[in-house]
Every structure is written in C-alpha cells, then in structure tokens.
Chains A and B, each alone.
Chain A
Amino acid sequence: MTNGTSDLTVWLVIVVLGIGTFLIRWSFLGTLGDRELPEWVLRMLRYTPVAVLPALVAPLVVWPAATGGQPDPARMAAATVTVAVGLWTKNMIGAILAGAITLFGLLYML
C-alpha cells in the first residue's frame, strides 16, 4: 500500500475478515437449525430489521460524514420525507424517489 503496509498484511486482513464475517453470518443459522427457539427469543427476533437498520443509519442522518459531522437540514428533511412516504404508501421505490428528490432539490436550492 501507499503507506508501506505489505501485501501480505493486506491479504491477512482480507482472509481473517472473510472467515470471521462468514462465521458471524453463519452463527445462529448454522448451529441452531434443529432446535426450537424459545418463544421470547422469537418475539424479539421479529423486531430485528426494524431495530437494526434504522439504528444503523440514524447517526449518519443526524451527523453526516459528508458535512464533517455537522447536522444538515437537507439530509434531515430527505430522511424525514423518505420515512413519511414509506409509512404512508408502503412503497419502497416511491419512498426512495421522494427522499432523493428532496435531498437533491434542497441541496440545489440551499
């Protein structure tokens, strides 16, 4: 690499990260398959997508990397419009388009 990290080091990172990431993804699916999960676990797992994905992007919405972590009205508005349209229409593509139009519209105007 440009900073002198050796090719071997980069490949070590790639291979270890590849194996580790696979084991994370395989963990429960690969090992728990034949057992019944307890009811309370199943109940919690039903909320995995609606908890993980919004929590993953919330900091990116409030403190965008592109603005150096400064809250940005255009990005906040775009996120709000996306969620509102998604909730209202249940249409993913419509929500993406509404959010993108809001973002680019506001970035252009501001």
Chain B
Amino acid sequence: MSPTPRPRPDARQPLADGATPSSGQMFRRGAVKSLPFLIVMIPFALLFGVVALEAGMDVAQVLGFSVLVLAGASQFTAVQLLSDNAPVIVVILSCLAVNLRMAMYSASLVPWLRDATAPQKAWVAYALVDQSYALSIQEYEANPRMALRQRLAFFAGVVTVVCLPWMVFSWLGATVGRAIPDDIALDFAMPITFLAMIAPMLRTPAHLAACFVAVLGSLLLAGLPSGLGLLIAAPIGMATGAAVEAWTGRRARA
C-alpha cells in the first residue's frame, strides 16, 4: 500500500464509501471526466497544426512537436519564435521556461505516486500536462484511500482522452490545413476551462489565499519574459497557502 496523504472531507463527488473500483473502472472514470476538455483540446490542436503549417513546417515536424514535446503553450511559443527568426538557444530556453511549472506538478505528485515503478513514473512524467495533472490531483485528493493501481489507471484514462487527441488533431490540422476563423474567441477557451477546474478546489481560506496571492503576483510580474513571472508568483502563492494553513491550526499528517 502506498502511504495516503492526509484525508480530508470533500464535497467533490467522492467515490462511494467502501467501494473498491477496479482499474478498468478507474480508467473509464478518468476518461469520462476528461471529455469536457476535448471541446478545448480539439480546436487548439487543429489550430497548432494550421499555424505550424503556415509557418512552413511539414506534417512530420508538426507531429514531432505534438508527440515528443506534448505541451501546447510551449509548442505555440516555439513556432512563434522560430517564425521570428529567434536564435535556437532562445527558442529552447523560452519554451523550457514556459514548461518549468511542470516541475511543481512533478513534486506535487510525489506523495501520491511514490511507490510506482520507475517505468510507470517515466510514463506519468511523459504525459504530465496541465489537464492530466489537474484532474488527477483533484481525484486523488477527493479519494485519498485509492490504491496506487487505481491512481495510475485514472491517470491513464485522463491521458488517453487528453493527450491522444492533441496528437491526432494537430496532425489533422497540418494535413487538412483548414483555416479556423479568428472571431470565435477560442483564445479564451483555455482560461475558462482552467478557472472552472480550479474554482471547486478553493475550499479553505488557505486555498483562497494561495490562489489570490499567486494571481496578484502573476499580474504584477506580467512584464517579465515568458513564464518567469509565474515561476515567482506561484511559489509565493503556495507558501501563502501553507502559512495560512499552519496559522489556522489545520495540522497536517503526511
């Protein structure tokens, strides 16, 4: 058994008491919970294919990005910078900076997945994107007694629905080259889905404080180069959450 981080009461659709769902059921649960993301994922993936194609990349390169890098924001950044004739080292460092937040996701999953085998951890790492992280951590926190196998199965279910279409539809966008109209406000699909994902998790004063400080920090530091403001603002928000938790006397047992 893996050690279970502090159980907490939670209103977010916990599994029925005493139920021990099979890995298959957890895989399906993860897949079903990810379905809403397709509304965002599919148009964005198509758009990436189209944009990269217009920048002069070939279909293999588009697929190379979506399979090997598998990180939407940094893929768009890379295409943008390459089109601007930025030096290769600048392209690489900027995109890695955009992705550095995932190190925080990686650390945050350690308590939940520490007993997984090295190959399992490598697979989780490969598919650790904003959506797979957010949905999984939400599920793990809501059902802290889940076994490791179930946690991995849930993650795999999410990844199947979130990551595979990213690859398929960016390939399709590059192949079909279909233009997506600019006036349907797709730019706002990502902010809305992320906010919708996080709002239900803001269930204590500590969570609210962490969120508020991180948002304030990111707005104040928005002038810094790509991703840097976030890397300063987010840890300050996390520290604020931890401080408020300690202060309100909610002692943790790991």
Contact = CB atoms under 8 A, between A and B. Distances in A.
Interface of A: 1-3, 5, 7, 9-18, 20-22, 24-30, 32-34, 36-37, 39-66, 75, 78-79, 82-87, 89-93, 95-96, 99-100, 103-104, 107
Interface range, B side:
35 or more
Interface string B208-239: 00110111011100100000011001110111
B200 A26 contact: no
A51 B96 contact: no
Contact of B254 (A9, A42, A84): A42
Nearest to B36: A93
A56 B69 contact: no
A53 B185 contact: no
Nearest to B101: A52
Interface string B102-115: 11111111110111
At the interface, is chain B mostly helix, strand, loop or mixed? helix
A100 B57 CA distance: 32
Contacts of A10: 57, 61, 82
Nearest to B213: A51
B208 to A, nearest CB: 8
B5 A83 contact: no
B185 A52 contact: no
Interface stretch (B17-25, B70-78, B156-164, B165-173): B70-78
Contact of B237 (A30, A47, A63, A107): A47
A45 B111 contact: yes
